[in-house]
Amino acid sequence: MSDENAPLSRFRFQRMLEMLEKKEGRGTELISVYVPPGKRISEAMGDLRSEWGTAGNIKSKTTRKNVQDALTKVMERLKLFKEVPETGLVIFAGTIAGNQLGVGDMETFVIVPPEPISTYYYRCEHRFMLEPLYELLRAEESYGILVVDSKEATFATLKGRRADIVREITSGVPGKHRAGGQSSRRFERLREMHLNEYFNRIGRYMTEIFLGVPDLKGIIVGGPGPTKEDFVKGNYLHYELKDKVLTVVDTAYTGVEGVKEVVDRSRDFLKSVRYYEEREIVQGFLRHIGHDTGLATYGEREVIQALKSINVRVLLLSEGVRRALVRLRCKGCGNEETRIVDLDGLEAFEENLGAMRCRECGNEVYELTDKEDLIEALVNMAEEADADVEMISAHTEEGEMLLKSFGGVAAVLRYRQFQ
């Protein structure tokens, strides 16, 4: 999800998962299949065929039929691929329970994940298995990891839960205990020199490895003992990277094990980094409101107006907004207008459309010409207006305030608007 339109693709992905989450089978009969990159299609097909055979043992006749039908659908879709896409492939299929008893529709969903998946899963459950995809959603930011002690240094990149080791080097620095016969002062001096050379080398690798990572959010340094602090405090890091060191953590190990420890220990910390950013963004907006600078606005109509006048610097959208933008046209007089309705009320709105009077001519001949998720519509407008988009979760007090007190839609403006 590191493309230019990251907030929108992230949002679409999230809404798709929410849609899938609502699907339920009448029995244990919804199929989820995760195929990682590199897996051969023929191998996955073989496994699915054998699952189809096993499903023949299911006692309930309806469930058995539904499971086997779903597996057939998955295999049909899988067959359309010559090879597994670079990020893997996820297929869901099953008979979704309808409102009426015994009535359900077979539905199939094929998803190419936005980031590589590493799991090979087959699941048959009451619902689709979405957790690995939700994990990807949480995982779009990149971090650098350095695990270092006086003997070795390991460089890794972290995206979500996935840490990739980029390089491992050894120090060549002699141990703390000198060999017999060496003068201790000379030994210390030599050790210092080696250590300095080693730190410089680490610094160069850091530049080489991390300076080029797009959207690097920060660097976490770990390791046993005080070497990591000595390195961070010294003047060995490129100035752009120096600002990115977020935290230093103690680990028991170095190398690959040390990197794993860093990942485990920083999970909560990294979550708090994003929350911190979100709070800052909302607070920036609130300061404008509080000081009445005229450089902020909120509310759906107001923000849309500001976007249309190319006056939005930052568009703040709460992830909790569940609204749709509906475009109507009167068949009598040609009058066009837009309405914003709750996503949950959209169906009822469409059903009642025939009874709505046109605001211009009073006839009851509205037709719906377009409907769009409000967030999607706003993000598209923001793109046209060259505004930054910030999706804000409701996990912080400020995020909750944005949703509850400001309707989840707000903007920091470029210039004051004359009302």
Q: Which is nearer to Zn ion, 9 or 363 (CB)?
A: 363
Q: Which is nearer to Zn ion, 14 or 363 (CB)?
A: 363
Q: Which stretch binds Zn ion (CB under 5 A): 104-112, 212-220, 274-282, 327-335?
A: 327-335
Q: Which is nearer to Zn ion, 76 or 367 (CB)?
A: 367
Q: Which stretch binds Zn ion (CB under 5 A): 68-76, 246-254, 335-343, 367-375?
A: 335-343
**Minimum CB–partner distance for residue 333 and Zn ion (Å):** 3
| Residue 328 sits in the site that holds Zn ion (CB under 5 A) | no
Kindly determine how many residues on this chain lie close enough to bind Zn ion according to the rule CB under 5 A: 7
> Which listed residue (163, 333, 340, 353) binds Zn ion by CB under 5 A?
333
| Residue 397 sits in the site that holds Zn ion (CB under 5 A) | no
- Amino acid at site 9: S
**Minimum CB–partner distance for residue 362 and Zn ion (Å):** 7
Q: Which is nearer to Zn ion, 19 or 361 (CB)?
A: 361
Q: Which is nearer to Zn ion, 207 or 363 (CB)?
A: 363
Q: Which is nearer to Zn ion, 110 or 333 (CB)?
A: 333
**281 contacts 389 by C-beta, under 8 angstroms:** no
**Minimum CB–partner distance for residue 355 and Zn ion (Å):** 14
**Minimum CB–partner distance for residue 356 and Zn ion (Å):** 10
Residue list 214-253, contact with Zn ion (CB under 5 A): none
**Minimum CB–partner distance for residue 301 and Zn ion (Å):** 21
Q: Which is nearer to Zn ion, 9 or 335 (CB)?
A: 335
Q: What is the 3-state secondary structure (H, E, C) of the chain?
A: CCCCCHHHHHHHHHHHHHHHHCCCECCCCEEEEEECCCCCHHHHHHHHHHHHHHHHHCCCHHHHHHHHHHHHHHHHHHHCCCCCCCCCEEEEEEEEECCCCCCEEEEEEEECCCCCCCCCEEEEECCCCCHHHHHHHCCCCEEEEEEECCCEEEEEEEECCEEEEEEEEECCCCCCCCCCCCCHHHHHHHHHHHHHHHHHHHHHHHHHHHCCCCCEEEEEEEECCCHHHHHHHCCCCCHHHHCCEEEEEECCCCHHHHHHHHHHHHHHHHHHHHHHHHHHHHHHHHHHHHCCCCCEEECHHHHHHHHHCCCEEEEEEECCCCEEEEEEEECCCCCEEEEEEEHHHHHHHHHHHHHCCCCCCCCCCEEEEEEEEHHHHHHHHHHHCCCEEEEECCCCHHHHHHHHHHCCEEEEECCCCCC
| Residue 332 sits in the site that holds Zn ion (CB under 5 A) | yes
Q: Which is nearer to Zn ion, 207 or 335 (CB)?
A: 335
Contact map string, positions 347 to 386, toward Zn ion, x by CB under 5 A: -----------x-xx-------------------------
**Minimum CB–partner distance for residue 324 and Zn ion (Å):** 22
> Which listed residue (335, 338, 380, 393) binds Zn ion by CB under 5 A?
335
For Zn ion, the binding residues (CB under 5 A) are 330, 332-333, 335, 358, 360-361
